Structure 1
């Protein structure tokens, strides 16, 4: 089984962390069935996290690399290591070790509306899922006004934000690309040329 492996910072890793061999024995928490039912697994994952003692592990199977979750847990002291097992399955290993194997500058900012934002190779990401309207739109508009002239903004949303499109156009932005997964619609926003 060929696998793409990435460390906590989302970069290709030179090799797995030493602690991974201990985590391989853990039974994975498969969140894919919850997502297929349209249920956000965040509460279930956080409930599982609450029961982990220092030095413990959590293994999650998801249909995609759960970058926002990895960043949230990094802030709580978890290192993580992910493997793409196939087109619809990622296995991410979490180790409560103080976040030793996490990129030190990989931080999540939380805006006034409650949106989380962070920087990855493909741009500035913002997660507006679970925010009540109009907070997703307000958070996205605030972010696009603060980024550099050539920055791409990647929005993580629960649905296609139709009311956002004219607001973006008014500010000289457009949706360049869209990717839809269950309860995770991603939009890549760029400035118009």
Structure 2
């Protein structure tokens, strides 16, 4: 019997008992993403039971209900809500007035069945360096927090306003001057079959990490690719099978140290190679 708490990572549950995937997916529709191997890889290792419950609009008790039959034993801990109630706001947030913060309520977008990731990334891109964007949501946007903290956000803080109201603040990093600026054109190259093959042949099979995102719904492809790039070793390349040239992904990579090579084979079939410069 495996002892778990609300802070146990979803990946630990799956490792202990793969049947937990279907069990968790049955709790709420947003959690059905766990059935997709690529999205599961992104989400499971980063999200705890408590965080997943909030993402799915469910409760920790819902998770206990479906996990107990799988031989898991639940141990009570101090809830995240109790921790948040005594946690002080960081200094950067305390010294900022509300008028200086860009508040963005994404609940109407989600209520309409859409994913607000693209709009949030654009909004944060427009946020001046050293300023704050606040995302208002009915749950803690844990994957978004991990995504923005990779490079763009200096720090984050989530304020639990009520049971289903969370304010997540993102402090944008101050601009840092680059010693050798590189234009987007130098980092993005379009290829024919022959020239793409030449770039591909530079890497051994062991150096290629392959991912197929064609079956994923938006913004799944972008999330999956960014997650893979986060852990890509220096001398490796990410080989991607895509349905289209991902414009918003290219915008995200424009100010990062990645070289992007694209070969559009035919309609609905685009090959990409991305590696660190």
TM-score, scaled relative to structure 1: 0.45
Asked which structure has the greater RCO (Cα within 8 Å, sep 6+), the reply is 1
- Higher strand residue share: 1
- Higher helix residue share: 2
